[in-house]
Structure 1
Amino acid sequence: MSQYQRLLLMINPALRHSQAINHAAALARASGASLHIAALIPPIKGLSMLEEGAREQVSKHYLLDHRDWLQGQADNLRDRGIEVTTEVTWAEDMKQDIIDHVTDMQPDLLIKQIQHESTLKRAFLTALDWYLLRHCPIPVYLVGGSSFVLPRKVVAAVEVSEIEPADNELNDLIIKQARGLAMQCNAELHLLYACDISAAYLADFGGLTLAELTQSLRRDLEKSFLRLAGRYGVPSDRRHLIEGHPVRVLSEFANEHQVDVIVMGKVQSHGMGKLLGSTTEHILYQVPCCVLAV
């Protein structure tokens, strides 16, 4: 049975070139899920400068234009055997409106195009995608630059540790979600651990040198990683333990291996319980593929 029964796609209807509809439709068809497309329209800039009658007329035509366009998209999807419903409405508060849709509909997956924001803007405001990663109660599938609507290569990005049981629970969620997606799409499943052994929290301990302690820690982490991979039956040629910072490692791996989807935790810990939720958030701007956050 598919892990997806109902998909929710949130779109900005003004961005009609977005690939999000094609990605969502392909996933719905592969999994047999129904698809609901909600087009939320932000307020029109400068509309308040018009007289009331003109404002209503412009708003009405703007809304009808987007509804007609989305209806045409939905008709095409129904012709392909996909069960799809649509809605077009104004958004008072985009962030909260999306969360409210998720709460009301209880879908299995929220799908949305990645929305790139400038570094300056992110410094003062929480980007919409970052907000969803932090607050959405269900898995979030953010559509990136991959040209293939159905993934051919899915990477589960995990974090292994001997002292963080929460990591084991999160790893299970990540791998199960990635494995289900790969099975539905007939894609390869790879397991990747970016091993970031920072000298910042390694010190002389028990007479060991820093190099010896680093090597010992790496061996322990590698054993944990191999146990995890073995538990889920991941073939040896699809297990990847790479030293380095997670953002850099994942970005380079995605580029070099033509990854289509990276499955990650919304918040992950790295050594000494340090929370690095921003790892997943920053990945959105670094990798040429989709990101599925659980």
Structure 2
Amino acid sequence: MDISKILVNIEQGADSALLLEKALRLAEGSGAKVELFCCCYNASLRNSYLFDKAALSHAEQAYQRHIEAELEPLTTPFKELNIEVDMDVCWHRHQAEAVVQKILRFGPDIVLHPVKQHSRLGHYIFDQADWQLIRECPVPLLLVKQKVWSDGGHVAAAVDPFHECDLPAALDHMILEWARRMVHALEGDLKVMHSFSVLPHSVIFDEHLVTDFESMQHTVRTLHVEALAKLLKPYGLTTDSPAVTLKEKETPQAILEYVDEAHIDILVVGGVARGMVDRILVGSTIERILDDLKADLMVVKPPGFVSSIDHNG
């Protein structure tokens, strides 16, 4: 299945040039329809009309028309390439909820969402809306950073055939399928990476385990290679392919190193719901890499995922 609808979340007042450039490239390569969406809200305006609902409604509509007028010029590059483009503005206090509700109405295949960057430090700011979207977005979510894609898009799928992070078995295939779709749209190349860690020798105290340590390392490595080979077979790839990388280290560190070494533009990963206690204790891979990752991150949910945000909010 190809990409037929793209939703682009425009943040009011933000520089959206690179976000739109990436949306344009994806739409041009896939032939998808694009919808520019902006959730606007002004607390001062709302507080000015707390006791006059009719006047507040009129003010909200006028404010939305003002935002629509600002968005209109952004559609021009799409129209010049005969890409079907539309825009939608809504008044909502909570951006993530508004975006998910829009997704449920519009039915896009993918959502592009910008993440903010500090101008001097080079680090990214992830607010509550970002994390809520990562958790709740029911379709693949592309977190777009201020980093230009290369001419031939380098797309990598980060897979976990052992499902050590509670990933449903079907999720790896979803990750690979979406990586292939992005490669097709960008006329790029597909890469695959998997990381695993063997228990370090320094933490083994039992004398029998010490004796068998090298054997254990070999066994674990072999099992991971075999599982990865089985996963990749339907895609015409093998573990010996130059496009496939295995790293023997903790996943967050392995991913960050790999993205730098392979000059990845888009990293496709799986996103699963986690309980609050688990997130506090060990964190998730996404939380541990997102700020330092020098690539855009695409988060894919497992089949059957249902957002807790309903259609009407």
With the length of structure 1 as denominator, give the TM-score of the two structures.
0.81
Match of 2:234 among 231, 234, 237: 231
Q: 2:111 matched to which residue of 1?
A: 110
1:131-154 C-alpha deviation (Å, 9 max, x unpaired): 122112111111123312876100
Q: Give the 5 Å matches for 1:113-262.
A: 113-115=114-116, 127-148=128-149, 152-161=153-162, 167-199=168-200, 209-234=212-237, 236-262=241-267
How far apart, in 1, do the equivalents of 2:57 and 2:107 lie?
33
How far apart, in 1, do the equivalents of 2:273 and 2:261 lie?
24
- Would you say the 8 A contact 2:163–2:169 is kept in 1? no
How far apart, in 1, do the equivalents of 2:88 and 2:186 lie?
27
Question: Structure 1 residues 31-40 or 17-26, which shifts more?
Answer: 17-26
Q: Amino acid of the residue matched to residue 144 of structure 1?
A: K
- Distance 1:268-1:80 versus aligned 2 partners, 3 A rule: same
Question: Structure 1 residues 26-35 or 150-159, which shifts more?
Answer: 150-159
> Quick one: percent identity of the two aligned structures?
20
What secondary structure, in the 3-state scheme, does the structure 2 residue paired with 1:160 have? coil
Q: 1:39 matched to which residue of 2?
A: 38
What secondary structure, in the 3-state scheme, does the structure 2 residue paired with 1:237 have? coil
How far apart, in 1, do the equivalents of 2:222 and 2:203 lie?
17
- Distance 1:32-1:17 versus aligned 2 partners, 3 A rule: closer
What secondary structure, in the 3-state scheme, does the structure 1 residue paired with 2:42 have? coil
How far apart, in 2, do the equivalents of 1:170 and 1:291 lie?
16
- Would you say the 8 A contact 2:135–2:273 is kept in 1? no
How far apart, in 2, do the equivalents of 1:201 and 1:3 lie?
48
How far apart, in 2, do the equivalents of 1:205 and 1:268 lie?
39
- Distance 1:94-1:229 versus aligned 2 partners, 3 A rule: same
- Would you say the 8 A contact 2:41–2:93 is kept in 1? yes
Q: Amino acid of the residue matched to residue 28 of structure 1?
A: A
With the length of structure 2 as denominator, give the TM-score of the two structures.
0.77
How far apart, in 2, do the equivalents of 1:3 and 1:221 lie?
31
- Would you say the 8 A contact 1:260–1:290 is kept in 2? yes
- Would you say the 8 A contact 1:108–1:138 is kept in 2? yes
- Distance 1:179-1:223 versus aligned 2 partners, 3 A rule: same
Q: 1:264 matched to which residue of 2?
A: 269
Per-residue deviation, 1:202: 7.8
Determine whether 1:285 maps to 2:285: no
Per-residue deviation, 1:76: 2.9
Q: Give the 5 Å matches for 1:7-26.
A: 7-26=6-25
- Would you say the 8 A contact 1:7–1:33 is kept in 2? yes
Per-residue deviation, 1:182: 0.7
Q: 1:70 matched to which residue of 2?
A: 71
- Distance 1:203-1:5 versus aligned 2 partners, 3 A rule: farther
Q: Where does the alignment leave 5 or more consecutive residues of structure 2 unmatched?
A: 301-313
Per-residue deviation, 1:206: 8.0
Question: Structure 1 residues 194-203 or 282-291, which shifts more?
Answer: 194-203
Per-residue deviation, 1:95: 2.0
Residues matched between the structures, number: 286
How far apart, in 1, do the equivalents of 2:283 and 2:178 lie?
19
Q: Amino acid of the residue matched to residue 38 of structure 1?
A: F
Per-residue deviation, 1:167: 4.9
- Distance 1:212-1:160 versus aligned 2 partners, 3 A rule: same
- Would you say the 8 A contact 1:7–1:36 is kept in 2? yes
Per-residue deviation, 1:267: 2.7
Q: Amino acid of the residue matched to residue 11 of structure 2?
A: N
How far apart, in 2, do the equivalents of 1:114 and 1:132 lie?
11
- Distance 1:209-1:104 versus aligned 2 partners, 3 A rule: same
Q: Where does the alignment leave 5 or more consecutive residues of structure 1 unmatched?
A: none
How far apart, in 1, do the equivalents of 2:273 and 2:220 lie?
19
Question: Structure 1 residues 22-31 or 141-150, which shifts more?
Answer: 141-150
How far apart, in 2, do the equivalents of 1:173 and 1:202 lie?
37
Per-residue deviation, 1:6: 1.1
What secondary structure, in the 3-state scheme, does the structure 2 residue paired with 1:4 have? coil
How far apart, in 2, do the equivalents of 1:221 and 1:258 lie?
24
How far apart, in 2, do the equivalents of 1:143 and 1:202 lie?
42
- Distance 1:264-1:203 versus aligned 2 partners, 3 A rule: farther
Per-residue deviation, 1:168: 3.6
- Would you say the 8 A contact 1:229–1:239 is kept in 2? no
Per-residue deviation, 1:212: 2.7
Determine whether 1:99 maps to 2:82: no
